[in-house]
């Protein structure tokens, strides 16, 4: 990775150079350590979702006489939602490329579009939630609906937090430019954003596709 | 809903003398400490050297202090329970009404696991791991500070329940449906849930931090199979944290949704399934036991090897056993509820898996024994704890194998036999290790050793007190005494419970003597200074630097050759009769102090308190505050400060002078 001048890993004295002076021996540089730690955090998030998936799988038939999956889910809406999220992720990739070239206009534009499509996804999801609540299928109706709203809502909450993070990142890049530590953060953000896609693909399959099987 | 949600004047326990008096005493003690600090003008020192410090050693000391203080609180709960069970027999009802007694056993378990054992174990990992790896700090020093303060925030909320409102009456894991709003409408369970959520975030961040540190930040030449066993156990423990704590977050989160928004995960109606909670909480809960005990095993490994003057016997088998336990610990959770009725096949699988865990654990016991065998064992205080541990823990492990047999478990499930078993493994392994580690690393942290005689007295109090307190419970459990009884129906049990009370009192004496030992050692510190930085003839890198180490630990990162990094270096120096050539010193960059952690924890506490009492505007303010400090911190420009070359050289030369003297002495020895 061509990193130019970067503060080295903690407590190593090499005058701001990425080279730790120890070759491959000894502590890794920050550009390795920070994304590595963030990956571990993302893994823990995956564990969090796996517990929610397990909860959903064990409660999906506990409908308590209320609505069941095939009566509630609409594949078309979900397809549009999925498309919005995937486009958002794709544009996020473009934003990283633009940021690496230190092109402020395209970075900001791509990040804005990333956020825009994420927002579209959220609006569609909230509309779906609102519709379900209005037809007598709120989370309080049955254990199945509790687990559905929690699993999908937890993903939605992650997207919301991602949008907050994205806005902060955009402001930071605008104010401070493409500094090394800001680039690392942007990389972490893109890891987070793509990871949410992976979660969504699992939700799409396990909740919506299986739930609407004839 | 009013402006202050559910919070009214009635939340203060005016009519209950025990919590009221305790609250007042605690407030008085806190006020006295604050006055004492102010009088000595120590606030500035505390703020710069501890509260805002990203230094892993200072954070470790803060964790250990928190854990020891909370140990006193948890022990107070324990002795109250023992007293109640000794008094409330036959026609007598004792002095604690059921609703109060139930809060006490719930608080005892919650505090001892989350706010005593966890902070102490994490504290030792903080203090020791970077030193043993030969580096200057953890991967994310500021996040480390945040982790500590979030843990402290959780501890604060649990203790606040004593002054305002009540604590959960549901046991330390708050099983539904008892913990649902229908049966626990008060704020007690909410205190429990919110406090654990906040401290759980702190623990998860610690896990991420330490796995990254151990895998990515080690001294040159410190390959995986040269790491001290304590670092291996810390790695396994933190991997378990990353894999297990998110499940705890989910479990408690789902219960919160049930309680706050009327969802139906674990309720009796609406299709809820309370056994789902059992599965989820124990998927976290069983690995949690190993999160605590693996670093304890690491401490014993260090102690056994150092004080026997030998390399650890079977280093590789120790590493293998640690990782085997790390993995198998995720495959045994169902043994906590064999009686659920999962069927004979499922129970058999989990029973056998539970017994298999005894195999790598047995490997470890034999490794420690063979380390001591043929060694020149020095009987310092840590070795007392080591031997006491091996005796106690082996019996505790055997009763665990008994409990792993499903038909046996059906008989003793939820009885005092179980209570005796898990106290025997947790006190026998974790608490004894903490005491061993406390004595072992104290001189490294503060530059003087602890008094040996008092240390041995503390050991005997714990060792004898423990066996008196818990062996009777095995007998009572086999007779059918269930756990958590506020009133004892059978007078024949009285003598056994009295013995248990005496045992608990002796443990209390041990805790008191620990305080005496600390004060006495501080008073006489001038004649127990650790000048050399190597008071125990150590073998790992923390003994290479001075006691206490400089902020940056090592002037130059040590170059590691061989399995026992410091021992190898020391032997080479003795053979060649000289220290290694003076290296080329450079200025050192270290992370700057930041109040981010303590401010985030402040807002987390405010937000948590508001959620507990349904004060929604305040909860939102807390969240906004936390986000604002996050953005403020992200905007900083100064990341590191530079320690000038002069300072590094002066410090390093002083260390070399001391080391040179030590070397001359070592050379003279036969």
Q: Which of B145, B147, B371, B514 is catalytic?
A: B147
B478, B479, B482, B486: CA torsion to nearest 10: -140
Q: Distance (Å, rounded) from C-alpha B215 to C-alpha B195?
A: 31
Kindly tell me if the per-residue pLDDT of A6 is higher than 60.
no
What mean pLDDT do residues B145-170 have? 95
CA–CA–CA angle B366, B535, B455 (5° rounding): 70
Kindly tell me if the per-residue pLDDT of A38 is higher than 60.
yes
What is the model's pLDDT at position B259?
97
Instruction: Check if B421 is active-site.
Output: yes
CA nearest A18: which of A27, B642, A9? A9
**Neighbouring residues of B600: CB distance < 8 A, sequence distance ≥ 6:** B146, B149, B150, B626, B629, B630
Q: Which of B273, B274, B317, B572 is catalytic?
A: B317
- Mark yes or no for CB contact B254/A44 under 8 Å: no
Instruction: Check if B58 is active-site.
Output: no
> What DSSP assignment string belongs to B9-34?
GGGS-TT-HHHHHHHHHHHHHHHHHH
Residues B177 and B307 in one domain: yes
Give a yes or no: residue B540 inside a domain.
Answer: yes
Q: pLDDT tens across A114-166, in order? A: 999 999 999 999 999 999 999 999 999 999 999 999 999 999 999 999 999 99
What mean pLDDT do residues A93-99 have? 96
Kindly tell me if the per-residue pLDDT of A19 is higher than 60.
no
Give a yes or no: residue B546 inside a domain.
Answer: yes
Q: Distance (Å, rounded) from C-alpha B548 to C-alpha B442?
A: 9
Instruction: Check if B258 is active-site.
Output: no
Residues B200, B122 contacting (CB under 8 angstroms) = no
Instruction: Check if B660 is active-site.
Output: no
Residues B577 and B587 in one domain: yes
- Mark yes or no for CB contact A51/B135 under 8 Å: no
Q: Which of B52, B86, B101, B105 is catalytic?
A: B105
Residues B86 and B157 in one domain: yes
What is the model's pLDDT at position A20?
52
- Å from A139 to nearest chain B CA? 6
Q: Is the peptide bond before B575 cis (omega within 30 degrees of 0)?
A: no
Q: pLDDT tens across B174-191, in order? A: 999 999 999 999 999 999
- Å from A213 to nearest chain B CA? 23
Kindly tell me if the per-residue pLDDT of A35 is higher than 90.
yes
Give a yes or no: residue A8 inside a domain.
Answer: no
Q: Distance (Å, rounded) from C-alpha A138 to C-alpha A126?
A: 13
Q: Which residues of B309-342 are buried (b: 16+ CB within 10 A; e: fewer)?
A: ebebbbbebbbebbbbbbebbeebbbbbbbeeeb
Give a yes or no: residue A15 inside a domain.
Answer: no
Map tokens 């009763």 to a residue.
Answer: B399
- Mark yes or no for CB contact B136/A146 under 8 Å: no
CA nearest B368: which of B427, B426, B420, B429? B429
Residues B21 and B48 in one domain: no
Residues B13 and B56 in one domain: no
- Mark yes or no for CB contact B263/A146 under 8 Å: yes
Residues B152 and B219 in one domain: yes
Burial of A53 (0-12, 13-18, 19+ CB in 10 A): middle
Q: Is A126 helix (H, G, I), strand (E, B) or coil?
A: helix
Give a yes or no: residue B625 inside a domain.
Answer: no
Give a yes or no: residue B600 inside a domain.
Answer: no
Which residues of chain A neighbour B590 with C-beta distances below 8 Å? Answer: 10-11
Residues B26 and B147 in one domain: no
Q: Is the peptide bond before B177 cis (omega within 30 degrees of 0)?
A: yes
Q: Considering the entire predicted model, what is its pTM?
A: 0.95
What is the model's pLDDT at position A17?
44
Instruction: Check if B136 is active-site.
Output: no
Give a yes or no: residue A16 inside a domain.
Answer: no
What mean pLDDT do residues B414-441 have? 97
Instruction: Check if B65 is active-site.
Output: no
Kindly tell me if the per-residue pLDDT of B563 is higher than 90.
no
CATH code of residue A169 = 1.20.120.80
- Å from B507 to nearest chain A CA? 39
Q: Distance (Å, rounded) from C-alpha B434 to C-alpha B120?
A: 7
Sorting pLDDT into bands at 50, 70 and 90, what band is A22?
A: low
Q: Provide the CA A177 distance to its chain's centre, in angstroms.
A: 24
Q: pLDDT tens across B52-88, in order? A: 999 999 999 999 999 999 999 999 999 999 999 999 9
Residues B7 and B119 in one domain: no
Q: Distance (Å, rounded) from C-alpha B332 to C-alpha B5?
A: 42
What mean pLDDT do residues B189-214 have? 97
Residues B230 and B261 in one domain: yes
Mean pLDDT of chain B: 95
Q: Distance (Å, rounded) from C-alpha B51 to C-alpha B58?
A: 9
CA nearest A143: which of B177, B338, B346? B177
> What DSSP assignment string belongs to B83-135?
HHHHH-BTT---SS-HHHHHHHHHHHHHIIIIIIIHHHHHHHHHHHHHHHHT-
Burial of A168 (0-12, 13-18, 19+ CB in 10 A): middle
User: What is the tally of structural domains in chain A?
Assistant: 1
Residues B37 and B47 in one domain: no
Residues B105 and B166 in one domain: yes
Chain A stretch 22-51, residues whose beta carbon is closer than 8 A to a beta carbon of chain B: 22, 25-28, 32-33, 36-37, 40-41, 43-45, 47-48, 51
Give a yes or no: residue B347 inside a domain.
Answer: yes
Residues B27 and B143 in one domain: no
Q: What percent of chain A has pLDDT over 70?
A: 89
Q: Are strands B640-643 and B588-591 parallel, antiparallel or unpaired?
A: antiparallel
Sorting pLDDT into bands at 50, 70 and 90, what band is B670?
A: low
Q: Is B529 helix (H, G, I), strand (E, B) or coil?
A: strand
Give a yes or no: residue A27 inside a domain.
Answer: no
Give a yes or no: residue B609 inside a domain.
Answer: no
Which residues of chain B neighbour A58 with C-beta distances below 8 Å? Answer: 273, 276
What mean pLDDT do residues B641-655 have? 92
Give a yes or no: residue A24 inside a domain.
Answer: no
What ipTM was estimated for this complex?
0.94
Give a yes or no: residue A117 inside a domain.
Answer: yes
CA–CA–CA angle B146, B149, B30 (5° rounding): 155
What totals of helices (H) and strands (E) does chain A contain, helices first? 7, 0
User: What is the tally of structural domains in chain B?
Assistant: 2
Kindly tell me if the per-residue pLDDT of B618 is higher than 80.
yes
Answer positive or negative: Cα dihedral of B474, B479, B482, B487: negative
Q: Distance (Å, rounded) from C-alpha A180 to C-alpha A13?
A: 17
CA nearest B356: which of B325, B330, B333? B325
Instruction: Check if B423 is active-site.
Output: yes
Q: pLDDT tens across B346-404, in order? A: 999 999 999 999 999 999 999 999 999 999 999 999 999 999 999 999 999 999 999 99
Sorting pLDDT into bands at 50, 70 and 90, what band is A11?
A: very low
CATH code of residue B85 = 1.20.210.10
Give a yes or no: residue B601 inside a domain.
Answer: no
Q: Distance (Å, rounded) from C-alpha B458 to C-alpha B434?
A: 13
Q: Which of B145, B306, B361, B367 is catalytic?
A: B361
Q: Distance (Å, rounded) from C-alpha B561 to C-alpha B567?
A: 10
Residues B261, A140 contacting (CB under 8 angstroms) = yes
Give a yes or no: residue A113 inside a domain.
Answer: yes
Its domain, for residue B21, covers 1-41
Kindly tell me if the per-residue pLDDT of A5 is higher than 70.
no
A6, A13, A43: best mutation site toward chain B, by most B Cβ within 10 Å? A13
Give a yes or no: residue A3 inside a domain.
Answer: no
Range of weakest confidence among B15-19, B89-93, B401-405, B544-548: B15-19
- Mark yes or no for CB contact A55/B216 under 8 Å: no
Q: pLDDT tens across B457-505, in order? A: 999 999 999 999 999 999 999 999 999 999 999 999 999 999 999 999 9
Residues A117, A95 contacting (CB under 8 angstroms) = no
CA nearest B302: which of B438, B203, B427, B211? B438
Q: Distance (Å, rounded) from C-alpha B307 to C-alpha B454?
A: 19
Its domain, for residue A161, covers 34-211
- Mark yes or no for CB contact B271/A62 under 8 Å: yes
Instruction: Check if B180 is active-site.
Output: no
């Amino acid at each position: 990775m061509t990193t130019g001048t970067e503060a080295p890993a903690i407590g190593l004295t090499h005058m701001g150079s990425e080279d730790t002076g120890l070759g491959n021996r000894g502590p890794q540089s920050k550009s390795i350590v920070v994304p590595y730690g963030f990956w571990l955090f993302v893994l823990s998030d995956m564990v969090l979702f796996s517990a929610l998936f397990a909860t959903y799988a064990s409660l999906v038939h506990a409908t308590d006489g209320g609505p069941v999956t095939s009566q509630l889910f609409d594949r078309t809406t979900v397809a549009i939602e999925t498309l919005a999220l995937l486009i958002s992720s794709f544009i996020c990739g473009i934003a990283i490329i633009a940021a690496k070239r230190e092109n402020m206009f395209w970075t900001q534009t791509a990040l804005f579009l990333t956020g825009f499509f994420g927002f579209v996804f959220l609006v569609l999801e909230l509309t779906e939630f609102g519709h379900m609540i209005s037809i007598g299928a709120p989370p309080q109706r049955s254990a199945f609906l509790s687990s559905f709203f929690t699993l999908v809502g937890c993903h939605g909450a992650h997207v919301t937090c991602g949008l907050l993070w994205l806005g902060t990142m955009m402001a930071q890049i605008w104010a401070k430019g493409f500094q090394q530590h800001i680039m690392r953060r942007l990389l972490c953000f893109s890891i987070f954003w793509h990871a949410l896609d992976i979660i969504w693909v699992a939700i799409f399959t396990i909740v919506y596709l299986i739930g609407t099987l004839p | 809903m009013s402006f202050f949600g559910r919070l009214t004047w009635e939340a203060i326990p005016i009519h209950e003398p025990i919590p009221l008096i305790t609250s007042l005493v605690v407030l008085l003690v806190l006020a006295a400490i604050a006055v004492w600090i102010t009088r000595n003008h120590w606030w500035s020192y505390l703020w710069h050297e501890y509260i805002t410090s990203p230094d892993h050693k200072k954070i470790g000391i803060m964790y250990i202090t928190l854990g020891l203080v909370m140990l006193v609180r948890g022990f107070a709960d324990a002795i109250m329970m023992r007293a109640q069970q000794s008094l409330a027999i036959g026609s007598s009802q004792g002095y604690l009404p059921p609703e109060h007694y139930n809060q006490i056993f719930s608080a005892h378990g919650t505090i001892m696991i989350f706010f005593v054992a966890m902070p102490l174990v994490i504290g030792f990992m903080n203090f020791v791991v970077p030193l043993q790896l030969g580096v200057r700090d953890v991967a994310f020093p500021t996040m480390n500070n945040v982790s500590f303060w979030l843990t402290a925030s959780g501890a604060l909320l649990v203790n606040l329940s004593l002054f305002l409102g009540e604590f959960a009456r549901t046991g330390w894991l708050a099983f539904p449906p008892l913990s649902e709003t229908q049966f626990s409408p008060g704020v007690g369970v909410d205190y429990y849930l919110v406090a654990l959520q906040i401290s759980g975030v702190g623990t998860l961040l610690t896990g991420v931090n330490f796995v990254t540190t151990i895998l990515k930040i080690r001294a040159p030449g410190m390959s995986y199979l040269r790491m001290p066993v304590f670092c291996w156990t810390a790695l396994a423990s933190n991997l378990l944290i990353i894999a297990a704590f998110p499940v705890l977050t989910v479990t408690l989160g789902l219960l919160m949704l049930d309680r706050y928004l009327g969802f139906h995960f674990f309720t009796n109606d609406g299709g809820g399934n309370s056994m789902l909670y059992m599965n989820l909480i124990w998927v976290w809960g069983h690995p949690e036991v190993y999160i605590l005990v693996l670093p304890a095993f690491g401490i014993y490994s260090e102690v056994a090897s150092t004080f026997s003057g030998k390399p650890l016997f079977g280093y590789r088998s120790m590493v293998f056993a640690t990782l085997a336990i790390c993995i198998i610990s995720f495959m045994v959770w169902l043994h906590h509820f064999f009686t659920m009725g999962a069927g004979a096949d499922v129970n058999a699988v989990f029973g056998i898996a539970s017994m298999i865990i005894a195999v790598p654990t047995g490997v470890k016991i034999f490794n420690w024994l063979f380390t001591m065998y043929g060694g020149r064992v020095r009987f310092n205080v840590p070795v007392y704890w080591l031997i006491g541990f091996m005796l106690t823990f082996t019996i505790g492990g055997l009763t665990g194998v008994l409990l792993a047999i499903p038909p046996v478990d059906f008989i003793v499930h939820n009885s005092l036999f179980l209570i005796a078993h898990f106290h025997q493994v947790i006190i026998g392994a974790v608490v004894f290790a903490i005491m061993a580690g406390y004595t072992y690393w104290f001189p490294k942290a503060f530059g003087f050793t602890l008094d040996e005689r008092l240390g041995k007295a503390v050991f005997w109090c714990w060792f004898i007190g423990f066996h008196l307190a818990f062996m009777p419970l095995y007998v009572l459990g086999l007779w059918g005494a269930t756990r958590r009884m506020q009133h004892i129906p059978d007078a024949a049990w009285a003598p056994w419970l009295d013995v248990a009370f005496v045992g608990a009192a002796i443990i209390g004496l041990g805790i008191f003597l620990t305080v005496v030992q600390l004060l006495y050692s501080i008073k006489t510190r001038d004649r127990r200074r650790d000048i050399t930085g190597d008071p125990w003839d150590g073998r790992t890198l923390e003994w290479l630097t001075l006691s206490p180490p400089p902020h940056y630990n090592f002037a130059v990162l040590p170059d590691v050759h061989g399995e026992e990094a410091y021992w190898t270096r020391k032997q080479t120096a003795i053979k060649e009769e000289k220290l290694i050539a003076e290296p080329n010193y450079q200025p050192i960059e270290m992370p700057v102090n930041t109040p981010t952690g303590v401010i985030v924890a402040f807002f987390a506490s405010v937000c948590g308190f508001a959620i507990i009492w349904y004060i929604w505007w305040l909860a939102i303010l807390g969240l906004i505050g936390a986000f604002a400090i996050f953005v403020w911190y992200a905007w900083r420009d100064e990341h590191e400060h530079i320690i000038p070359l002069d300072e590094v050289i002066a410090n390093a030369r002083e260390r070399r002078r001391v080391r040179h003297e030590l070397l001359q002495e070592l050379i003279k020895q036969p």
